[in-house]
Amino acid sequence: MQGSSLKKYLSKLYVQVLIGIIAGVLVGHFFPDLGSQMKPLGDLFIRLIRMLLAPIIFASVVVGIARMNDIHEAGRVGVKAVVYFEVASTLALGIGLVVVNVLKPGSGMNIDPAHIDSTAISSYAHSAHQHGMLDFFMSIVPNSVVGAFANGEMLPVIFFSVLLAIALARLGPRTAPFVDMLDMFLQAMFGVVRIVMYAAPIGAFGGMAFTVGKYGIGTLASFGQLMLALYVTSVLFVVVVLGIVMRVCGLSLWKFLRYIKDEIFITFGTASTEAVLPQMMIKLEKLGCTKPVVGMVLPTGYTFNADGTAIYLTMAAIFVAQAMNIHLSIWDQLLVLGVLLLTSKGSAGVAGAGFVALAATLASMQKIPVSGLVLLLGVDRFLNEARAVTNLIGNGVATIAVARWERAIDMQLARAVLDREAGPDGDVQEAAESAMRSQSH
């Protein structure tokens, strides 16, 4: 009996991913040379998911909007999503600024800017010069639709999908067979995702083994205060800010976190929110959010609503100033906040997006040396795990909030699914089916 219960427990994805994370930490610590060679395992898993993102986002957005009764509904959802994103990311930036001033993680490091070798961040500094709001808006419109799909560029794919969906909706009922075909294609893509997710524990193992093997656990000790400050702030933001949002929506944050625990562990292990985007879309639809809202809000939120990245950006900028004994007045810090409100939105689709946004901010400030980013290189991967998990939870909550605001969520189904997930068995599918049966009677 115990053997069968253990087997059932080990069959759960989040348990397998957690085992992969622990194994990765152990291999990286005790066999650092071997651990640092495990990076391809994590990269391969993320590439498996990335190859599916463009077609899944395209089909989700087109099917969702094309089946709307009122085309103005799509515009309304988009406007509400942008309003929510702006409020949430501004709060995240502000909370990060307050905590870094209270904890002062960089104080006492006494780094001399003249002795810093900035060659390691030269590529980020170069990207920062080409990083502005105009470049960002120009990047939304692709040179070629095929190119956007081939390169996996999320915003251009969303932009084209919305235009095509509006065109199909205006053509009327005769487009129904094409939309139905796209819907079947979408279900097939989700089937591929379920197959790919079997490799998630291996991806988490590879990601953690590489991180610990390359940078070492000793890195955590030397930058412990900064890491502690970021993790504490991220937890504070999730519990207080997102907790209040979920309470206003009439749902429990804790139950929602249990519901997406698989995705949280995978994101922590791979330090990538992209790795779980298809799974999050499936789970939010099962929770009762309508397909158009999920298809529009969740992928767009990956660019516009990076709450964890916003927290990191303010804390990292002020940390560098503290480490170099550069005094920033309250007005200087508010200027950092204002610049970050712009630069944090323009980092989509750029490798090392957080670093590029930070470099662009420091370059425009001209008070904190861009070379100070070298201080963050060794610990950035560990910080990235906190950012990624916070971004993931933030975008899940954002989708629920916009769906509730738009009255596009089945609250009876949502509560049934979350309550069942919080129970001993956690069978989400059964909960969803049971709620649907009760609605039909």
Residue range 156-206, pLDDT digits in tens: 888 888 888 888 888 878 888 998 999 899 889 888 888 888 888 898 898
209's CB contacts (< 8 A; 6+ apart) are 23, 24, 25, 27, 28, 34, 35, 36, 38, 41
Number of other CB atoms surrounding residue 265 within 10 Å: 24
pLDDT at 257 over 60: yes
- Please give the residue that has the higher pLDDT: either 124 or 6: 6
Per residue, the 3-state secondary structure of the chain, as one string, reads CHHHHHHHHHCCHHHHHHHHHHHHHHHHHHCHHHHCCCHHHHHHHHHHHHHHHHHHHHHHHHHHHHCCCCCHHHHHHHHHHHHHHHHHHHHHHHHHHHHHHHHCCCCCCCCCHHHCCHHHHHHHHHHHHCCCHHHHHHHHCCCCHHHHHHHCCHHHHHHHHHHHHHHHHHHCHHHHHHHHHHHHHHHHHHHHHHHHHHHHHHHHHHHHHHHHHHHCCHHHHHCHHHHHHHHHHHHHHHHHHHHHHHHHHCCCHHHHHHHCHHHHHHHHHHCCCHHHHHHHHHHHHHCCECHHHHHHHHHHHHHHCCHHHHHHHHHHHHHHHHHCCCCCCHHHHHHHHHHHHHHCCCCCCCCCHHHHHHHHHHHHHCCCCHHHHHHHHCCHHHHHHHHHHHHHHHHHHHHHHHHHHCCCECHHHHHHHHHHHCCCCCCHHHHHHHHHHHHHC
Q: Give, in order, the Cα–Cα distances in Å from 338 to each of 93, 127, 138, 331, 377.
A: 9, 20, 22, 10, 24
Confidence of residue 252 (pLDDT cuts 50, 70, 90): very high
State mean pLDDT over 343-367. Answer: 62
pLDDT at 105 over 90: no
State mean pLDDT over 392-401. Answer: 94
The confidence score (pLDDT) of residue 132 equals 55
Beta-bridge partner residues of 289: 409
Could you give the CA distance from residue 95 to residue 388 in angstroms, rounded to a whole number?
17
Identify the CA nearest to 247 among candidates 236, 256, 234.
256
Structure-token pair, residue 376: 């963050």
CATH of domain 2-409: 1.10.3860.10
The confidence score (pLDDT) of residue 438 equals 43
State mean pLDDT over 242-253. Answer: 94
pTM score of the predicted model: 0.79
Q: What is the mean pLDDT of the chain?
A: 80
Most confident stretch, 75-89, 246-260, 326-340:
246-260
State mean pLDDT over 47-57. Answer: 84
Confidence of residue 122 (pLDDT cuts 50, 70, 90): low
- Please give the residue that has the higher pLDDT: either 304 or 92: 92
- Please give the residue that has the higher pLDDT: either 298 or 214: 298
Write down the domain spans for the chain: 2-409
The confidence score (pLDDT) of residue 181 equals 93
Could you give the CA distance from residue 262 to residue 21 in angstroms, rounded to a whole number?
13
Could you give the CA distance from residue 109 to residue 332 in angstroms, rounded to a whole number?
21
End-to-end CA distance of the chain: give it in Å, rounded: 38
Confidence of residue 416 (pLDDT cuts 50, 70, 90): very high
Confidence of residue 351 (pLDDT cuts 50, 70, 90): very low
pLDDT at 287 over 70: yes
The confidence score (pLDDT) of residue 103 equals 86
State mean pLDDT over 88-112. Answer: 83
The confidence score (pLDDT) of residue 390 equals 92
Identify the CA nearest to 394 among candidates 288, 256, 265.
256
The confidence score (pLDDT) of residue 218 equals 66
Name the one residue in this structure whose structure tokens are 């999730």: 238
Confidence of residue 432 (pLDDT cuts 50, 70, 90): very low
State mean pLDDT over 383-410. Answer: 91
The confidence score (pLDDT) of residue 116 equals 57
Q: Is 271 left (phi over 0), alpha (psi -120 to 50) or beta?
A: left
The confidence score (pLDDT) of residue 240 equals 94
What percent of the chain has pLDDT above 70?
A: 81
Confidence of residue 284 (pLDDT cuts 50, 70, 90): very high
Over residues 132-154, the pLDDT tens digits come to: 556 666 777 888 888 888 877 77
